[in-house]
Chains A and B, each alone.
Chain A
Amino acid sequence: DAKTTQPPSMDCAEGRAANLPCNHSTISGNEYVYWYRQIHSQGPQYIIHGLKNNETNEMASLIITEDRKSSTLILPHATLRDTAVYYCIVRVAARDDKIIFGKGTRLHILP
């Protein structure tokens, strides 16, 4: 029932921008794109979400393509503490009660 496709792992040099891709080609008009991350065995952490416009907060930027079939999470200046599994999730706001996690992308920040 995977709605999103992410690479299983990525590397990024410390201090560089980490760009994490996500494909969601079957996304419907009322589904939002969410990003969470899980550092080691800690609880997942919300990062950002968006519908169709690009979004930015203190943690990251979310770039959604015009056709909404894919998106990219950007960590502008990656640090070693950003090493984590990053999850891209699509869900319908105001209807779905839950967040369903897939396998995500394991991001390694290299010193």
Chain B
Amino acid sequence: EPEVTQTPSHQVTQMGQEVILRCVPISNHLYFYWYRQILGQKVEFLVSFYNNEISEKSEIFDDQFSVERPDGSNFTLKIRSTKLEDSAMYFCASSRHKINTGELFFGEGSRLTVL
């Protein structure tokens, strides 16, 4: 069964460093998403991406964040200068349709720890 894969599974970084989280969505999917979950809190929407551009973003997704689909298969989330409060689990998701079905397929997540 096709799945969304994310790397790395866990990354530890120093405050102020740049981090890139990578995702390989399911191959025939059209919409891509990043969510995050701070330990013990809700899963929060960050950004959606369609047709090579950001479709929607939340207030959390400020200028420190960027997304890119550099080669038609990978979908990356970059955090320019990490802060302690960026420590969280980051989930990538993809959707086959123009989200009419509301069925998002999530990866297993990348745990980011900022020291």
- Chain A residues near B (Cβ < 8 Å): 32, 34, 38, 41-46, 49, 91, 93-94, 96-103
Contacts and interface: CB of A to CB of B under 8 A. Distances in A.
A42 B108 contact: yes
Given A97-B48, A97-B56, A98-B56, A46 B103 contact: yes
A42 B45 CA distance: 16
A93 B4 CA distance: 23
Nearest to B56: A97
Interface in B31-70: 31, 33, 35, 37, 42-45, 48, 50, 55-56
Contacts of A98: 33, 45, 48, 56, 99
A102 B109 contact: no
B45 A32 contact: no
A101 B42 contact: yes
B93 interface: yes
B2 interface: no
Interface-centre pick from A41, A96, A99, A102 (highest chain B CB count, 10 A): A99
- Please name the 4 residue pairs, one residue from A and one from B, whose CB atoms are nearest each other, closest first: A43-B106, A101-B43, A97-B48, A46-B103
Contacts of B42: 101-103
A14 to B, nearest CB: 25
A99 B108 contact: no
Contact of B102 (A42, A91, A103): A91
Contacts of A99: 45, 102, 104
Contacts of A49: 101-103
A98 B50 CA distance: 12
A95 B56 CA distance: 11
Contacts of B91: 43-44
24 contacts: A32-B102, A34-B102, A41-B37, A43-B4, A43-B107, A44-B43, A44-B106, A46-B105, A93-B101, A93-B102, A94-B98, A94-B99, A94-B100, A96-B99, A97-B31, A97-B55, A98-B33, A98-B56, A99-B45, A99-B102, A99-B104, A101-B44, A101-B45, A102-B42
